[in-house]
Amino acid sequence: EQAARRFDNKTHAWVPDVSEGFVAAPISVQEGDNLTFTMPADGSLKKLMRSEVQEINPAKFEKTEDMSNLTFLNEAAVLHNLRQRYYSMMIYVSLVDFK
């Protein structure tokens, strides 16, 4: 699954999106703190400051059980992780039998 991931933490970032919340978009141009992204939905270009986007975690953290282990713990990373686990029918909480 990690190899099938379509984005990388060096070349992509979480970009705010009105309908999806955040989308993983490739960084087309980097000029200091100014970044230009190619939006995956329509191929349009979007210019944002580095402070307006959130960093993507390395693929090894895809669908992690313990989100405190994420390299970048941010809103987009948490939402992505929960969404991926939900679509994979992975449980979020396990109950411990206290005997």
Q: What is the CA radius of gyration of the chain?
A: 15
As for how many domains the chain has, the answer is: 1
Instruction: Assess if residue 3 is contained within a domain.
Output: no
CA distance 70 to 87: 19
DSSP 73-98: --HHHHHHHHHHHHHTT--S------
98 lies in a domain? Answer: no
Is 6 domain-assigned?
Answer: no
Report yes or no on 7 lying in a domain.
no
pLDDT at site 4:
61
Q: What angle do CA 93, 80, 67 make, to 5 degrees?
A: 45
What does the pLDDT read at residue 8? Answer: 74
Q: How does DSSP classify residue 57?
A: P
For residue 19, being part of any structural domain is answered with yes
pLDDT of residue 97: 59
pTM: 0.82
Assess if residue 39 is contained within a domain: yes
pLDDT of residue 60: 86
Q: What is the CATH number of the domain that holds 50?
A: 2.30.30.360
Q: Decide if 94 is inside a domain.
A: no
- Summarised one tens digit per residue, pLDDT across range 1-53 is 555 666 777 899 999 999 999 999 999 999 999 999 999 999 999 999 999 99
Does residue 2 lie in a domain region? no
Domain range for 27 = 12-87
C-alpha span between 82 and 77 (Å, rounded): 9
59-90 pLDDT, tens digit each: 888 888 889 999 999 999 999 999 989 888 88
